[in-house]
A and B are shown apart, each in its own frame.
Chain A
């Protein structure tokens, strides 16, 4: 289906719109819609869900008629590493503490660059960044994050 679309960008955007719109309508199927003068909580989401799905259909239909440029290559490596570094941060922050979480985040996300390699300047930057975060966010702004979490302090 997607292969014969002449404008893949419009095609995939449309598919997402249809999916989100219909899911919203389906989740909201039990919400009371109420009447015009006293609308229930379900009125607005249902209208928006159908509108979104309708625009999605429009976009998909148009993708078969109008020409467009291809989507282009997806940087899977960058995508995976940046996403992975965020996941690691989320998982480690409350158990291992800020310092290990940031170390994991910086090292994993830095690996996303094509020119990733070990060098003194980058290592110095890493240490400076860690010190900056500890000082500014934890000490200065008082964000409640333990520098070292329960894994280390028992």
Chain B
């Protein structure tokens, strides 16, 4: 019954007028940036982060979370109507969603995408509520030893699930961890690699790093591509899907939700993995795989359910363990820390209204999104008519003002610019920057826990193997590493990520 009490507490928080308002602001912004290709939730959340400082913690998190899952809805609209993914998570929706639109069935495709997302969002909210309590209870038993092992597992998972070669992603994690050591060492008070710059003594602020690497660098890379955008223009009648459509889509919706919920929890899962896996599964079990790519409704329902479920369950490691599952959750950690809340398992017991309020708001948010997206779809379509050449200077501008606003210092603008150059370089050499950001955010925690564990064990590293939870976690790490070295698994992974 504790679950009901918690959910009630959550609902009473989420239904407060100002929280409903921030939720609405979040999902509207989320839908907007989701619809627009070329700007994703990471720079948006990074941009709004400094301005959530004055809000109560629950309002801030509710709004930022709304941006994230709202973007999953918006992304599919663009995918279906323009055949350009609004977000990475909606890449596969292009295949069958756009095919349906070309057959004059844009209405049902949009409706099924929204309904699938809503269904998945509702189920995922329950999954989060069910899983959070036992996980948080387990996490309270953790000492520095277990935390270190868990962080290692999280970072490694981020490497495995990132695109590109494992060794390069691993190097990106090391680079991120190294950048994370910049600043004053908490144990000794010694300034490390600050180059005598006072602004660096608190460490590299990750907001300018994220904005540079994911915002500005993306813009520079986008400018190389030709802008071709053709909106399928048809009267969006028949938004209500037929009974046959629903019947065909429902099993795919359920399977997609299950896949998305499971993959979302994995650290490093990212936005692309759940929908791709769901699509591959639908194609595999379909009686007639030939239909896929030609407007199969399951090919819309499954991936759309998966990406929304995954987006939401990726909050589980953050809320229960204080560990971000992806780069966006790393920004959420930043939001918590700005509010003076140290992320970790104690947040669940110390701030129940915050945690359950955010969980409950996901459901109210999903309900709002259903309404925002279906009847108002015409509004979002008209947004697509804004050409990128008018849009990107505004994004550059928001990045600049946002980084300046964090601490009102021009230094952050220079830092963002440097990271943009680095980020553009990494785009060019085909390395994903997300593991770097995760390393940067987790680095201080990793070092702190490692040093504390070693101090407790008198410098004996075997402590990581003699404590059972830690040993299990490290065993998983070892198995994953060995599996990565095996050529058969490597080939499978390349296939899975390339599909």
Q: Check if A109 sits within 8 Å of B393, measured CB to CB.
A: yes
Q: Check if B404 sits within 8 Å of A31, measured CB to CB.
A: no
Taking CB atoms, residues of chain B closer than 8 Å to A71 are 428-429
Known contacts A44-B181, A45-B178, A83-B421; is-contact A75 B168 (Cβ 8 Å): no
Q: Separation in Å of the B270 CB from the closest CB of chain A?
A: 20
Measured in the bound complex, the distance between the Cα atoms of B414 and A106 in whole Å is 17
Measured in the bound complex, the distance between the Cα atoms of B394 and A10 in whole Å is 34
Q: Within residues 21 to 56 of chain A, which ones have a CB less than 8 A from any CB in chain B?
A: 21, 24, 27-28, 31-32, 35-45, 48-49, 51-52, 55-56
Taking CB atoms, residues of chain B closer than 8 Å to A78 are 220, 223-224
Q: Check if B192 sits within 8 Å of A112, measured CB to CB.
A: no
Taking CB atoms, residues of chain A closer than 8 Å to B428 are 9, 71-72, 74
B174, B193, B389, B404: the one contacting A27 at CB < 8 Å is B193
Q: Check if B389 sits within 8 Å of A110, measured CB to CB.
A: yes
Q: Check if B181 sits within 8 Å of A9, measured CB to CB.
A: no
Q: Separation in Å of the B140 CB from the closest CB of chain A?
A: 26
Known contacts A32-B188, A125-B390, A143-B401; is-contact A24 B171 (Cβ 8 Å): no
B102 within 8 A of A: no
Q: Check if B401 sits within 8 Å of A137, measured CB to CB.
A: yes
Taking CB atoms, residues of chain B closer than 8 Å to A16 are 425
Q: Check if A112 sits within 8 Å of B171, measured CB to CB.
A: no
B410 within 8 A of A: yes
B459 within 8 A of A: yes
Taking CB atoms, residues of chain B closer than 8 Å to A137 are 401, 405
Measured in the bound complex, the distance between the Cα atoms of B448 and A41 in whole Å is 11
Question: How many B residues touch the partner, as a band?
Answer: 35 or more
Among A35, A72, A109, A133, max chain B CB count under 10 A is at A109
Q: Separation in Å of the A89 CB from the closest CB of chain B?
A: 5
Interface residues contributed by chain A, number (CB under 8 Å):
70
B420 within 8 A of A: yes
B424, B425, B459: the one contacting A35 at CB < 8 Å is B459
Measured in the bound complex, the distance between the Cα atoms of B410 and A93 in whole Å is 8
B433-459 CB contact bits vs A (8 Å, 1 = yes)? 000000000000001001100110111
Taking CB atoms, residues of chain B closer than 8 Å to A35 are 459
Q: Check if A79 sits within 8 Å of B220, measured CB to CB.
A: yes
Q: Check if B220 sits within 8 Å of A52, measured CB to CB.
A: no
A9, A32, A59, A133: the one contacting B171 at CB < 8 Å is A59
Q: Check if A9 sits within 8 Å of B397, measured CB to CB.
A: no
A37, A41, A49, A143: the one contacting B455 at CB < 8 Å is A37
Q: Separation in Å of the B352 CB from the closest CB of chain A?
A: 29
Measured in the bound complex, the distance between the Cα atoms of B170 and A48 in whole Å is 11
B216 within 8 A of A: yes
Known contacts A17-B171, A72-B428; is-contact A89 B390 (Cβ 8 Å): no
Chain B residue at smallest Cβ distance from A44: B447
The prevalent SS among residues of A at the interface is helix
B431 within 8 A of A: yes
B413 within 8 A of A: yes
Measured in the bound complex, the distance between the Cα atoms of B187 and A38 in whole Å is 10
A96 within 8 A of B: no
Q: Within residues 266 to 289 of chain B, which ones have a CB less than 8 A from any CB in chain A?
A: none
Q: Check if A55 sits within 8 Å of B224, measured CB to CB.
A: no
Chain A residue at smallest Cβ distance from B410: A90
Chain B residue at smallest Cβ distance from A11: B429
A147 within 8 A of B: no
Q: Check if A9 sits within 8 Å of B430, measured CB to CB.
A: yes
Taking CB atoms, residues of chain A closer than 8 Å to B387 are 115
Q: Check if A55 sits within 8 Å of B174, measured CB to CB.
A: yes
A99 within 8 A of B: no
Taking CB atoms, residues of chain A closer than 8 Å to B338 are none
B60 within 8 A of A: no
Q: Within residues 383 to 421 of chain B, which ones have a CB less than 8 A from any CB in chain A?
A: 387-390, 392-394, 396-397, 400-401, 404-405, 408, 410, 413-414, 416-417, 420-421
A21, A36, A52, A85: the one contacting B461 at CB < 8 Å is A36
Q: Separation in Å of the A122 CB from the closest CB of chain B?
A: 6
Chain A residue at smallest Cβ distance from B398: A133
B175, B392, B394, B405: the one contacting A141 at CB < 8 Å is B405
Q: Check if A122 sits within 8 Å of B400, measured CB to CB.
A: no
Q: Check if B192 sits within 8 Å of A45, measured CB to CB.
A: yes
Chain B residue at smallest Cβ distance from A138: B401
Chain B residue at smallest Cβ distance from A34: B188
B193, B396, B431: the one contacting A82 at CB < 8 Å is B396
Measured in the bound complex, the distance between the Cα atoms of B112 and A16 in whole Å is 46
Q: Separation in Å of the B419 CB from the closest CB of chain A?
A: 11
Measured in the bound complex, the distance between the Cα atoms of B450 and A49 in whole Å is 17
B167 within 8 A of A: yes
B124 within 8 A of A: no
Taking CB atoms, residues of chain B closer than 8 Å to A27 are 193
Measured in the bound complex, the distance between the Cα atoms of B170 and A71 in whole Å is 21
Taking CB atoms, residues of chain A closer than 8 Å to B223 are 75, 78, 82, 112-114
Measured in the bound complex, the distance between the Cα atoms of B395 and A68 in whole Å is 33
Known contacts A59-B171, A79-B220, A113-B223; is-contact A90 B193 (Cβ 8 Å): no
Measured in the bound complex, the distance between the Cα atoms of B50 and A141 in whole Å is 10
Known contacts A37-B455, A59-B171, A125-B390; is-contact A52 B405 (Cβ 8 Å): no
Can you report 10 residue pairs joining A to B where beta carbons are below 8 Å apart? Answer: A31-B190, A44-B177, A44-B447, A45-B178, A52-B175, A79-B220, A86-B396, A109-B396, A109-B397, A141-B405
Task: Apart from A109-B397, A143-B404, list 5 A-B contacts with CB within 8 A.
Answer: A32-B188, A38-B459, A83-B417, A109-B393, A137-B401
Counting from the closest, the 4 A-B pairs by CB-CB distance are A36-B459, A37-B459, A78-B223, A113-B389
Residues of A within 8 A of B (CB): 9-10, 12-13, 16-17, 20-21, 24, 27-28, 31-32, 35-45, 48-49, 51-52, 55-56, 58-59, 62, 69, 71-75, 78-79, 82-83, 85-87, 89-90, 93-94, 102, 105-106, 109-110, 112-116, 121-122, 125, 129, 133, 137, 141, 143-145
